[in-house]
Structure 1
Amino acid sequence: MTRIFGTPITLAEMEALGRAALARLPAAFRAQMGDVVFQVQDFADSETLQSLGMENPFQLTGLYEGHALTERSIEMSGTLPTRIRLFRRPILDEWAERGNETLEHLVAHVVIHEVGHHFGLSDADMHALEDMTE
């Protein structure tokens, strides 16, 4: 995505980048995403930050909320929907700090990390999944 310097990316534009990253997942992974809700917000809310023991909202770029597929059981019916949230401002801040990668790559990295939690993947497996989507 080419941006004019100083023009901020909108929530909708970042959501489009995130959905594009989801669309690049291997078919076997996409098929198992089910009804995961995907959202982009400017920052995590204070309750979320507090539950994670964080004070600085710029520390959290994404969050998986739910139970990994490997941990689900019938007793979990009626729980809140599984959700992946990206946080636009922290992602943009990290992108500016890194300065050596595209925004698309960073958003994909965050998305794949959160998708990895959905599947109960290890960090090494998450990196392998990221390599498959490039």
Structure 2
Amino acid sequence: MDAVPVEMTRERFEELVADALDEVPEELLGLMSNVVILVEDDPPHTEPDLLGLYEGHALTSRGWDYSGVLPDRIFIYRRPILRICDSDEDVVDEVAVTVVHEIAHHFGIDDARLHALGWG
């Protein structure tokens, strides 16, 4: 297990994810459909540096036959975020960026467009 520059409990990290969600405009949150947001300590072992992940069917790809499916999932990965941050303030910022980034995927916005918009 890698050492992290910032020590933070899982509970505190989950609070930061909730705070980041509180910053998303209500109109946008209201458009989200059939999606859950989960905090995990680690990403899949094949992608150890992954900060977040969207799994599911973006709203833009859902057709008339979209029904009876499990919720989409947004994962926010605690340890990789803590590894790249130098302070609590960095963690707050990175969590916010990661949450927005993964929500954008739910709306069908790809990585190239997110980078062009400054949401790396």
TM-score range for the pair, normalised by the shorter chain length: 0.7 to 0.9
Q: How many aligned positions are there? A: 111
Shift of 1:24: 0.8
* Aligned counterpart, 2:93: 105
CA RMSD of aligned residues (A): 2.3
Give the TM-score of the pair, scaled to structure 2. 0.79
SS of the equivalent of 1:102 reads helix
Structure 1 or 2: more helix by fraction: 1
Over residues 20-79 of structure 1, what are the superposed CA-to-partner deviations in whole Å (9 max), with x where a residue is unaligned? Answer: 111111222111123421111110234xx3xxxx4xx1x101001111111112323232
Identity among equivalent pairs (%): 41
- Map residues 53-132 of structure 1 onto 2, 5 A cutoff: 54=47, 57=48, 59-96=49-86, 102-121=90-109, 122-123=113-114, 124-125=116-117, 127=119
Q: TM-score, normalised on structure 1?
A: 0.71
Alignment gaps of 5+ in structure 2: none
* Alignment check: 8 A CA contact 1:116 1:126 kept: no
TM superposition outliers: structure 1 runs of 4+ over 6 Å = none
Moved more, 11-20 or 83-92: 11-20
